[in-house]
Structure formats: C-alpha cells, structure tokens
C-alpha cells in the first residue's frame, strides 16, 4: 500500500490544520524555525521583558531540532527531531500567541494537546534517527537568534517536501492515545 502524502505549506498551515487527521502523512514546505530548550528559555525571557522576539510567532512553525554543523555543499547538517516533551512548559503559551504548528518526536502533555485544540494548531512528528534524510529537505538555513547557543540557536529553515506525520490534529486526536 502506498501512502498518499498531503502537500502543505507553512504559509497556509493554520487554515489547513482543520482538514488534517492524526496519522496523515504530509510533505511540508516553507519556513520553519528551529528552537530547543535553551532557545525556548531565552524566547520566554524576551516575552517577559517585552523585547522583540527572533521571529513572528503568529502563523509560525517551530521544529524542535539542533542541527549539526553544515557540511560543504549542503544547506544544513543532520537535523533530526528532539524530544518534544521538553518544550511542553512553553508550548501552550506559544500556541495561544498564534503558533500554527510544532515538529518534533514523542508524545505531548494534556496541556499542549488542549492548546492545540483551543488554537486550531497541529503537532507533526519527524522520524527520529533520520536526521541526514531530513537534511535533504532543507533548502537554506539562517541563524536568526542566540548564535552563542551553537546548534541550539534559533535558525530559519526553508523546507521543500519535508516528510512528516500528523501526530496530534487540531481536534486533539492523537497517535499517542490508547483509545
């Protein structure tokens, strides 16, 4: 059986999220921002201090990844997902600020699922352990904030047909549920 993949673009993800179902296979193109633990902490310091954020949260997609150094001739090094649960303390507020989607691996807390449902967002899972394969979908990389964090700096990536699975849809249905 060949899975049909739904082509999505980050510009329209907020609108398209309502049509997605947990388990759908998608190919995502467009702009995403990488941010892991350390970057999330700094972003929240900026929120608390009313300072400008590294990117506009409304409609954005965050990929929980810390890419490795870029080999010659490539846009990025290996860029597999990190465990999303570590960002759960930050995710509901970002969703409430208009975040359209998150990319990572693993289950999410009830608070994150509630925020996804409340805001009509989506949580997409990338294949863990396939960072070199994921790198093939990255067209460009630009460090946009916290360069001192190295691999955990916030990076702006341009993706083309990044393979993902809808893990938690906008209605709160989850691949991780035991129902």
Query: What residues contact residue 11 under an 8 Å CB cut-off, 6+ apart?
Result: 30, 59
What pTM value is reported for the model? Answer: 0.93
- Which pLDDT tens digit goes with each residue over 147-175? 999 989 999 999 999 999 999 999 999 99
Q: What is the pLDDT of residues 10-46, one digit of tens each?
A: 999 999 999 999 999 999 999 999 999 999 999 999 9
CA–CA separation, 105 vs 135, rounded Å? 16
- Specify burial of residue 159 (Cβ count, 10 A radius: 0-12, 13-18, 19+): buried
Q: What does 59-109 look like in DSSP terms, one character per residue?
A: T-EEE-B-PPPPPTTSS-S---B-BGGGGTTTHHHHHHTT--EEEEBS---
């Amino acid at each position: 059986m060949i899975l049909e993949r739904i082509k999505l673009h980050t510009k329209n993800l907020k609108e398209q999220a309502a049509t997605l179902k947990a388990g759908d296979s998608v190919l995502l193109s467009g702009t995403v921002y990488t941010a892991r633990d350390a970057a999330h902490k700094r972003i929240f310091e900026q929120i608390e201090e009313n300072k400008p954020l590294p990117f506009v949260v409304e409609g954005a997609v965050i990929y929980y990844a810390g890419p490795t150094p870029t080999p010659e001739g490539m846009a990025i090094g290996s860029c597999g997902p990190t465990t999303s649960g570590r960002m759960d303390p930050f995710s509901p507020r970002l969703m409430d600020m208009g975040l359209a989607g998150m990319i990572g691996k693993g289950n999410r807390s009830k608070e994150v699922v509630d925020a996804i449902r409340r805001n009509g967002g989506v949580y997409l899972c990338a294949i863990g352990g396939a960072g070199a394969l994921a790198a093939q979908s990255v067209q460009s990389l630009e460090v946009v904030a916290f360069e001192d964090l190295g691999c955990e700096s916030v990076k702006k990536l341009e993706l083309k047909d990044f393979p993902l699975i809808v893990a938690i849809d906008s209605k709160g249905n989850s691949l991780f549920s035991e129902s």
